[in-house]
Structure 1
């Protein structure tokens, strides 16, 4: 190896090392300890939201959670309280701006302020495009874009006045790489990612750090309560099995730790699961090829048929393949994360 090449490699290594050291120092400087802080987690009654709430509670945060289902919300409150958390549970339909305003008001009245907002509430709609309606897009946008925006607008004034705050938006790898049979979901998550990235740039001057989260498949138990159209049993089997495979999916607990770590350090973005990271990395330089590969994948997925434009929940779409030994991990996660109501199989 000649001297010029050796010097070039050493300079490159030194530069990379300086970047890593600089990044570590910046992350340490902007670290926010959640202990004693107030965290509002939307959709915190089950699945990933409940898991994030548990992780925040384990780090000493005081919690507020919301959801539409009162009974489900109370079970989540009892779960968190049983773990020693201080928790306020507020019923709320996040598609109604007035209810978001009331929610934030109740949390502020109870705790005095809000330090952390985690926009997690979501709906999963799995269906071929032929069975998709404009109402599907409307519901997805109301839940994944407008609800986070209205929640952010409600907490911003006090965060700005304190020059401190954390906002975490749970988007999806589907907000970076749009997948077939998830078009309303992906479209709304793309919108949330754009909002989240733009707001980070706007709010850093106010001491507010916005983190965008792009999870891949996670074992949260959520397929049971996802919505399916067309050949709903086949769609549910594919989705629930994929969500259960180690390596392709990640445990909800590990994903929640990644989210809260990113929140603490004010990171701009976190991508969860190796397959999600690879998908985003490949899509960057090859968006057209990625879309064509997704087109090939679409040929392998179930066609419209079945129940057509009617919608069925995952728990009403069972078959010999799901639940089965193939979905064991996700079924266990569903029971652990309040996705299964008392009395349900």
Structure 2
């Protein structure tokens, strides 16, 4: 019986790269994202690698759709071995230009969606006494980033959820781990939102992000997919990917200095 993985945000970028890597490693794959056409393209690529693929269009911010995702996956495969929570959005802009609606959206996708999938699949993992939960966060869940308060809050919440769940579930045979990417050069800009006092300022933040994505500091989706595979295969607690590994270490050692630098350069 082949192992099975569920991946959210699987239609492009990190999610797609992860689906293909796990398929290459012998996993059958359940793919979840909002866009059916893109999901089916990835599903076809998984099948071309000789593995089974189940594409389930899902808005992970809607708990009913998440429950359907898990129920359908278990109906088809009877067992799930790995859950990869990957769906997410990015938001950049000063706090005074971030609305309550913005906050609700980013927390719904970046935090609540992770909790929905975990709550839905946890009884299955507990019954089997085994399973792996991978939460894809961000180096922005390890250190603050300028003009990204809402985003960092959502990612810090994921870090707290992951570390506390690990403490609770490890004795029950369930491995909970985190992959914290740095800026990743995928379809990132498609899911990014920018706020400012006016459209000109919002476009300034957009251009800054786009410039970073075209530098050597940006990771590639395949780098993050490999980190996800590594935490699963080697039962690691966390991997910080790419340039984020350096910046988060420096921040941990010299937080005041790093905050001063970020304030001066933002």
Q: TM-score under structure 2 normalisation?
A: 0.93
The 10-residue stretch of structure 1 (136-145 or 103-112) with the greater mean CA deviation from structure 2: 136-145
Which among 79, 85, 89 is matched to residue 123 of structure 1? 89
For the pair 1:173 / 2:139, whether they are aligned, the reply is yes
Partner deviation per Cα, 1:129-164 (whole Å, 9 max, x = no partner): 332111111111111111111111111111112111
Q: Measure how far apart 1:66 and its partner are.
A: 0.7
2:256 counterpart residue number: 288
For the pair 1:253 / 2:222, whether they are aligned, the reply is yes
**What is the SS of the residue equivalent to 1:135?**
helix
What does residue range 1-345 of structure 1 map to in structure 2 within 5 Å? 36-230=2-196, 231-246=201-216, 248-273=217-242, 275-298=243-266
Q: For the Cα contact (< 8 Å) 2:179–2:227, is it kept in 1?
A: no
**Runs of at least 5 residues in structure 2 that lack an aligned partner in the other structure:** none
**What is the SS of the residue equivalent to 2:143?**
coil
Q: Measure how far apart 1:128 and its partner are.
A: 2.8
Q: For the Cα contact (< 8 Å) 2:179–2:224, is it kept in 1?
A: no
RMSD: 1.6
Q: Measure how far apart 1:76 and its partner are.
A: 2.4
Distance 1:224 1:68, change over 3 A: closer
Q: Which contiguous aligned blocks of 4+ residues in structure 1 show a shift greater than 4 angstroms? A: none
Q: Distance in 2 between matches of 1:205 and 1:194?
A: 18
Q: Distance in 1 between matches of 2:70 and 2:253?
A: 41
Q: Measure how far apart 1:213 and its partner are.
A: 1.1
Q: Distance in 1 between matches of 2:208 and 2:238?
A: 29
Q: Distance in 2 between matches of 1:180 and 1:200?
A: 29
**Runs of at least 5 residues in structure 1 that lack an aligned partner in the other structure:** 1-34, 299-345
Q: Distance in 1 between matches of 2:18 and 2:147?
A: 27
Count of aligned pairs: 262
Partner deviation per Cα, 1:44-73 (whole Å, 9 max, x = no partner): 111111111111111010000111122222
Q: Highest CA radius of gyration, 1 or 2?
A: 1
Q: Distance in 2 between matches of 1:205 and 1:173?
A: 27
Q: Measure how far apart 1:81 and its partner are.
A: 2.5
